[in-house]
Amino acid sequence: MTKVDAAKAFNALLQVTKEEMKKKDGKIAIIGFGTFYMQQRAKRTGKNPQTGKKITIPAKKVFKFKASKKF
């Protein structure tokens, strides 16, 4: 496979992954490789490293990956 063909295949995989993650369940399982999924991260308190002041980090959705046992 040429570099151009590999880049096209990889970009197509990324595009499909983005589209699927936007759906309600946001989960993609690839047998023998792993599962990509979205998870809600709760609001939390953090610290500004420059000033040392406490800040509130808002809740958000994050993209996660869990490798399969065979991987």
- Tally the domains of the chain: 1
Q: What is the model's pLDDT at position 13?
A: 87
Q: How confident is the model at residue 18 (pLDDT cuts 50, 70, 90)?
A: confident
Q: What is the 3-state secondary structure (H, E, C) of the chain?
A: CCHHHHHHHHHHHHHHHHHHHCCCCCEEEECCCEEEEEEEECCEEEECCCCCCEEEECCEEEEEEEECCCC
How much is the pLDDT for 30? 87
In which domain, by residue range, is 62 found? 3-67
- Over residues 10-28, the mean pLDDT reads 85
**CATH number, position 42:** 4.10.520.10
pLDDT at 24 over 80: no
